[in-house]
Amino acid sequence: MADEKTLTEVGDSTWETRVEKGERPVVVMFYSETCPFCKQIEPFFRQFAGEFGADLLFARLNVSQNPWTVERYGVRQTPTFKFFCQGRPAQEIVGAAFPALLRKNIEGFLEHGEACIRSSREIDYEITGYG
C-alpha cells in the first residue's frame, strides 16, 4: 500500500521542487473532490504507487486549490494523469480511465524511461515571457 514516500500531495507551492526539479520521474493525478471518476480510480492509483513507488514518484494535485499549476499545464478535466520526465510532461491520460489502462501506461513509462530522459531537455527557470 502507498505511503507518504510513494504518494504525495503537491500544490502550487511545492510543484517546482517535487515535480519539475525532482530526482525521479513523476506520475501526477490532477483531481477534484467532487469528481466521481477520481474517487473510483484513486484506490488503484494508490495501489500502483505502492507497487511502482520505488521507481516513480506518485503525486496528487487538487485542481480547485492550485490554479497556477492547473493553468500552466492546461488541465481542463479530472481526473487527468500526467507523466513527467526530468520535470517535463511526457504523456497524459485525460478523463475516466480503466485501471488496466493506467497500469499499462505506468509500465510503458517505466520501460521507456531511459529514452524519455535522453530526449528531454533541462528547463531553464530564468526564461520568462514577461521581459
Q: What is each CA distance from 65 to 5, 71, 94, 108, in whole angstroms?
A: 22, 12, 19, 30
- Write out the residue range of the structural domain in which residue 77 sits: 7-119
Domain contains 110: yes
β-sheet bridge partners, residue 60: 9, 29
Q: How many domains does the chain have?
A: 1
Tell me the pLDDT band of 1, cut-offs 50, 70 and 90: very low
Domain contains 2: no
Alpha helices in 6-131 (DSSP H): 15, 36-52, 67-72, 99-111, 113-119
Which grid cell is 47? 495501489
User: pLDDT tens digits, residue range 78-116?
Assistant: 999 999 988 888 889 999 889 999 999 999 998 876 666
Q: Examine the residue annotation and report whether 116 is marked as an active-site residue of this protein.
A: no
Domain contains 130: no
Q: Is the pTM of this model over 0.75?
A: yes
User: pLDDT tens digits, residue range 45-75?
Assistant: 999 999 999 989 999 999 999 999 999 999 9
Domain contains 125: no
Catalytic residue among 35, 94, 96, 110: 35
Tell me the pLDDT band of 15, cut-offs 50, 70 and 90: very high
Catalytic residue among 27, 38, 75, 93: 38
Q: For position 13, which CATH number holds?
A: 3.40.30.10
